[in-house]
Structure 1
Amino acid sequence: MKIRLLPILMFVLASVFPIEAGNKYYQQMSDSEMKRNPESWMLDFSKTPKWNYCHGLMLQAILQTWNVTHDQKYFDYAYSFADLMVAPDGQIKTYKPEEYNIDRVNSGKMLFPIYAKTKEERFKLALDLMRNQMKTHPRTADGSFWHKKIYPHQVWLDGLYMAGPFLAEYGKTFNEPGLYDEVVLQIVDAHKYLYDAKTGLYYHGWDESRQQKWADPVTGLSPNFWSRSIGWYMMSIVDALDFIPEDHPKRPELIGILKDISAAVEKFREPKTGMWYQVTNLGTREGNYLESSGSVMFIYTWVKGAQRGYLDKSYLKKGQKAYSQYLKRFVKKESDGTISITDGCSVAGLGGEKVYRDGSFEYYISEPVRDNDPKAVGPFIMLSILLDK
């Protein structure tokens, strides 16, 4: 579809994807995103097509909506992105394996159900391409993946989600059981280096070289706890456990980590709303705010962990209540019938060249806040499916 046809396409799709008020929240939110972004490459406020982790997150969620509703429009929406981006030989537009950007791997997860349904070989080749990136991806001395080639010697919690569940699913789907050990190593190493015993929380990043200005010269740790990064880590564990075999010797250790962090984040909820702050442990500090993506990731992990038997059953009730509180605090109805999620941090990171991100409290609260950030919307759809809401 030529980009010059977008105005016509947007009008047509707005009528094709009506928002039915009686539908479940996962349908309403999926339909809302499809109305806001008539072509799937437009997700994440994109101006041009790109292979981006947010597209993978959103389309994974929309494919889950297809899986429970059996409504073909959801599959077609996700397929249109895969069809646009993946060439017949499996090469992926805008994706450069030699950049060793771990974020890019997350988009691969949406290709598993698409390949399973279509059996188009190009999607298997694309999955292989991303799996092969991780064979040569740079690592720390203990084997943890660098976040990106441009961030040498650094482990960020975000990256655990970007590669871990993908590799675990690849291992199960294509019979490469050695990948289970790989995924376990990443999760356990992150616990070893990023865990804070005093709070039970995890720091956003760790610099093995201790060269970054944001890194503590002794520990290599970044200075603050960012809720979304902790949420990424929690989701990486609860999602990877879907594929790691029951008899894997390290599986109990992963579940133990999940139990501990689930209990730890509960201590930092804002009492009135039940939600969590952008900087997790500094809720009373001026400028901090209740943030929607980290909050929904915590609730998703509680609910899924309890449903799968990794967490105590009480976390299901806690998650159900927190979900209702989330709807009240962050979800709003728009005049056009769509629904939106408010107060999502648009981006946060560490270091960089153009504007150096120092990991300070002031930095985390300075990044733009926006509605319908995919890092909140995607997990919200998946959480709503878990609760059948």
Structure 2
Amino acid sequence: MDFGFSEEDEAFRGEARAWLEAARGGGVSDRRAWERRLGAAGWIGLGWDEGGYGNRTATLIQQVLWAEEYARAGVPARSGHIGEKLLAPTLIAHGSEEQKRRFLPAVARGEELWCQGYSEPGAGSDLAGVSTRAERAGDGTYRVTGQKIWTSLAHEADWCFVLARTEEGSRRHHGLSFLLVPMDQPGRVEVRPIRQMTGTSEFNEVFFDGARARVEHVVGGEGNGWRVAMSLLGFERGVSTLAQQIGFEQELGLVVRAAVDSGAVADPVVRERLVRQWAELRVMRWNALRTLGGSGEPGAPSVAKLLWGRWHRRLGELAMEVRGARAAVGPEDWSAGAPYVLDPLQQLFLFSRADTIYGGSDEVQRTIIAERVLGLPREPKGVV
């Protein structure tokens, strides 16, 4: 296959790179202001051609180029990507015209931020086990009660799309609905940050205590939540995977430099592992480009998740090994009572421990491949 880019695509890349360099040079105040700045310049909603809800038009390849240049530019991490990359394509596919007109322009302008209310303490990778309830009230709303966990950026979000049970007594994937719930409901929505091993708190617990969601904000119709939720998970992979790989490439560069500085690169086993990481990353990129090109291969997202999750964990382990004992201590000026500080490679190691769990654990991905791609029989329930 030809993995090159056309002159038109390279011109688009140049425009994106020039804007990002200028924007970075102009300074960035805060993440929410940065989202509005992206929206005003037309960089949110690339490729939302249907209905004119997004900004500029862009081919799939140009969306890839924008994502790659963004990852390279050293600009702030996105706060609006959940609304742009997950909610928006789901609304375009399943939402009503009123829902599209209400929510998509606000996402494209960078004015409303979203979080995802899927996982629960008793239903992580087994999404069909959610127990959050949404009961119809007499005032044209649902009352949502339950708990969600590992909710990324919930502490910044204005809205949450929530998978909840709207049919009493329903089980598994039956009786679920996909609701759009405003987060600004004091006393009804509580967000508690979860402190991670890295010392940061990107994830949160979210408690709904009779939170209101309007009836017209059910996407895809009541009882069709499983179908909508599965459609959304399909959007979770794709263009963002290629941008993620730019970050992986930068981290690999840090590990190589650390191996040179520590002298570990003199070990032929270490050199072989570094080269293997480099080669596997190239293969992952080519595979991602191939599947984005419309191959439509079933199970491709699960295969990609298995590949990059394991790859990134191995990179984190290698980052610690090439530095030796020095990797286990903090910065030289770290003293008692000082804030918890990690350097980038320590952050990489600790965060990558979760790569084979979040976004669908390795066990779930293998089950998808086995049952839906290879056609193997389903494992009997209750068998250990």
TM range (shorter): under 0.3
1 or 2, which has the higher strand percentage? 2
1 or 2, which has the higher helix percentage? 1
Higher relative contact order (CA 8 A, sep 6+): 1
TM-score, normalisation: structure 2: 0.26
TM-score, normalisation: structure 1: 0.25
**Looking at CA atoms only, which structure, 1 or 2, has the larger radius of gyration?**
2
